[in-house]
Amino acid sequence: MTKTEKEPVAGLAALPGFPLVLVTVKQNILTAAAFSFFSFQPTPAVMVGIRPATYTFELLQHAKDFGINIPTPDQLDIVRWVGSVSGREEEKFNREEPTPMEGAVIESVLIQECPVNLECKLVHQVQYTGSHHWFIGNIVAVHVDEEYQRDDAIMYWFGEYRRVGEIFYKGR
């Protein structure tokens, strides 16, 4: 093994990828790879990193909740489109797809075509002036298609969309 010292950003580039999600806030959608599990206890929680320039960020300043929708590789066109157009310029539910779906608990809309929808109550916004501001949400309701498997999700990082991949060991 021959290691070379690199710039700090190379440390981020070396990471394998993050689950790609569609974040719904009120009636808008944003594609996000800056997404992670946050906590199991006292309640299951997730966090998502949003850039302040986005319409989603603006909406989150007044929203009580958000949706996390898991897309599949065959939804790449939707993923790329909602991740390149701002809700300030275009209503993203105006096309045939994606289709809005009402949540059981939250006010923000969900996406019908995504096999998994997490309804999240916004509980914290991390005060940090970096490129992404992190929003933490408690999962208050979940909808999962019976045929969904984790392999059906997409991983993304630094311009690469990946399928989830093989399990090479089960256990801890």
Ligand X SMILES: Cc1cc2nc3c(=O)[nH]c(=O)nc-3n(C[C@H](O)[C@H](O)[C@H](O)COP(=O)(O)O)c2cc1C
CB-based closest residue to ligand X: 83
Which residues make Cβ contacts (< 8 Å) with residue 60, sequence separation at least 6? Answer: 25, 50, 66, 122, 125, 135
Using CB under 6 A, which of 24, 33, 109, 116 touches ligand X?
33
Q: Which stretch binds ligand X (CB under 6 A): 7-15, 60-68, 85-93, 138-146?
A: 85-93
Considering the complex, state which of residue 56 and residue 72 has its C-beta at the smaller distance from ligand X.
56
How far is it, in rounded angstroms, from Cα 87 to Cα 55? 6
- The reply to whether 68 sits near ligand X by the rule CB under 6 A is no
Instruction: Draw the binding track, 92-121, toward ligand X (x: CB under 6 A; -: no contact).
Output: ------------------------------
**Token match 């898991």: residue?**
70
* Phi, psi of 57, deg, nearest 5: -60, -45
- The reply to whether 54 sits near ligand X by the rule CB under 6 A is yes
CB 63 within 8 A of CB 26: yes
